[in-house]
Amino acid sequence: MLTLEKKNKVEAYIQEQLQHRESGDPICAYVYDLERLKTHAKGIKESLPASCRLYYAVKANPDRRLLEVLEPVIDGFEVASYGEISNVGEVSDKPMLFGGPGKKDREIRTALQTNVEYLNVESFHELNRMMHIAEQLSVTIPVLLRVNLSKNVSDSHIRMSGVPTQFGVDERDIPGLITHALQSDYIDIKGFHFHAMSNNLDAKSHVKFVGMCIEKSLSWKKQFALDASIVNVGGGIGINYWNPEEPFEWNILADGLADYHETYQEQDLTLFLEIGRYMVAGCGSYVSEVLDVKTNHDEHFAVIRGGSHHLRMPAAWKISHPFNVFSVEEWHYPFVRPEVIDAKLTIAGELCTPNDVLVRKEHVDRLRAGDIVIFQYAGAYGWTISHHDFLSHPHPEIVFI
C-alpha cells in the first residue's frame, strides 16, 4: 500500500490541482516521489555485501530525473539500446552493462566508444558479429555470456530462462560458445549472465537461483581455465501487484547474498544485480479522474480520463492494478452525480477498446464521477511501455515531488 508520507504527498498534489485548475480538464498525471526513490535505492545498496555491484535496469523507467536521483547511489546502469546508452551518458560517467537479444552493429560500435563496461553475448551469431567488429576496430571486447538455463528457476510472471525464449544461449551449448570465443584474440570472457525471470515474488527461490548461478559459473571457469570473475544474476525482483501487503522479502535475499559472500570469498567473485522494477515502482503513482460511473449487464464500471495508453501493464498482464480512491466532494453539474457504493467495480480507460481495463471487479466502498483514482506502484513499466498515441488523447502531466 501507499505509505502515509507518500499518500499525503500525492493527495496534496491532487488537492492543489483541484484548487487551481482553470480549464476544468480532468486530472491525469504521473507523480514521482524523488525523495522516496533515493531513500529506497540507498536501502537496497546498503544491504548488499562488498562483493555485489548494483546496477539500475534503465528499461524500467528511463526518465532523466530518476536517473539523476539514482546516479550517486548505484554502481552503474544496465542498458539495452543506443537510446538508453545516450540517456545515461547525459547524466553519468558510471559504467554500463549492455544487454538485449537484438543488438545492431551501430549499437555495438557505440558501446565500445562509451562507458559500456561489458556486453552480453546472446547467441553464436552475435558473438561472430562482435568478433568481426572488434577486429575491424582493433579492440578487445569484454563480454558476459548470457545463459538460458536448462531448468526453470521460479514461478515468476515472466520467464526468460529455463524455457524456450529468444534470450541467451541454451545452457547445453555454453561449452561450445566458450570454446568459440576463446579462439578469438578480440573477445575477453569476463563472466556469465543469468537474468532468468521478471517479477519474482519468492525471495527464497531467488536466493537458490543465485547459488545455482554461482556454481555453474565456477564450473565453467574451472573447466576452461577462465579468468572470469563476474556472475551477473540480473534482476527480476517483483512487486506484488495482487497483494501489496505481502511484498518481496528483500531482507531474505540480502541475507542470502551475504552468506554467499562469506562462502565464496576465496573465489574472488563479483556478483552483479540489475534491479529495475523493484527499484522504481514504488516511487511513482498514476492519478486519473473518474469521468463516468455506470452499470452494464448488472456489472459496475468507472471510466477514467486515461487508461492503458498511459499505464499499459494491468491490461497486458490481465491484472487489477492496486489503487485507492481520493474522494472529491465538489460537484459542479446541476444533475445527479453517478456513483457506486459498496460493490465490485471495473475501472476502464477512455479508449475505444474493451481491453482498456486497469482494475477488474474489485470492491470499492464508494466511487463517484469526479473522484480521483490513485494507481500505486506505477513508477516502473508505466508511461514508456505504453501506446501513448492510440486515439490521440492528450498525454498525462509528469510531476516530480
Residue 76 lies in a domain: no
Mean pLDDT in the chain? 93
My answer on whether 295 and 257 are in the same domain is no
Q: What is the pTM of this model?
A: 0.93
For the cut 80, the answer to whether the pLDDT of residue 228 exceeds it is yes
47 belongs to a structural domain: no
The separation between CA 377 and the C-alpha centre of its own chain, rounded to angstroms, equals: 11
- Considering the domain architecture, whether residues 319 and 170 belong to the same structural domain is answered as no
Q: Which residue has the higher pLDDT, 153 or 127?
A: 127
Query: Does 338 lie in the same domain as 189?
Result: no
CA distance 34 to 120: 31
Task: Note down the domain range covering 337.
Answer: 4-32+282-400
SS (H, E, C) 243-276: CCCCCCCHHHHHHHHHHHHHHCHHHCCEEEEEEC
Task: Average the pLDDT over 261-285 and give the result.
Answer: 96
Is 263 found in the same domain as 287? no
Domain assignment present for residue 243? The answer is: yes
SS3 label, residue 368: strand
pLDDT of residue 141: 98
User: Using only C-alpha atoms, what is the Rg of the chain?
Assistant: 23
Task: Give me the pLDDT at residue 6, please.
Answer: 56
Instruction: Report pLDDT for 149.
Output: 87
pLDDT higher than 90, residue 159: no
CATH number at residue 312: 2.40.37.10
Q: What span, in angstroms and rounded, lies between the C-alpha atoms of 211 and 216?
A: 9
* Residues designated as active site: 352
Residue 199 is which amino acid?
N
In a domain, 345, yes or no: yes
C-alpha to C-alpha distance for 144 and 191, rounded to whole angstroms: 5
Residue at 86 is within a domain:
no
Instruction: Quick: pLDDT tens for 204-224.
Output: 999 999 999 999 999 999 999
Give yes or no: residues 259 and 296 share one domain.
Answer: no
**For the chain, how many structural domains are there in total?**
2
Mean pLDDT calculated for residue range 46-63: 98
Task: State the pLDDT at residue 197.
Answer: 79
Residue 49 lies in a domain: no
Q: Please, which pLDDT band fits residue 387 given cuts at 50, 70 and 90?
A: very high
Query: Among residues 259, 275, 291, which one ends one of the domains?
Result: 275
pLDDT in tens, 237-263: 999 999 999 999 999 999 999 999 999
For range 373-380, the mean pLDDT: 98
State yes or no: pLDDT of 390 exceeds 50: yes
Question: What CATH number is associated with residue 256?
Answer: 3.20.20.10
What percent of the chain has pLDDT above 70?
95
pLDDT digit string, tens, across residues 328-368: 999 989 999 999 999 999 999 999 999 999 999 999 999 99
The answer, yes or no, to whether residue 235 has pLDDT greater than 70, is yes
Q: Does residue 188 sit within a domain?
A: yes
Model confidence at 1, pLDDT cuts 50, 70, 90, reads very low
pLDDT number for residue 383: 95
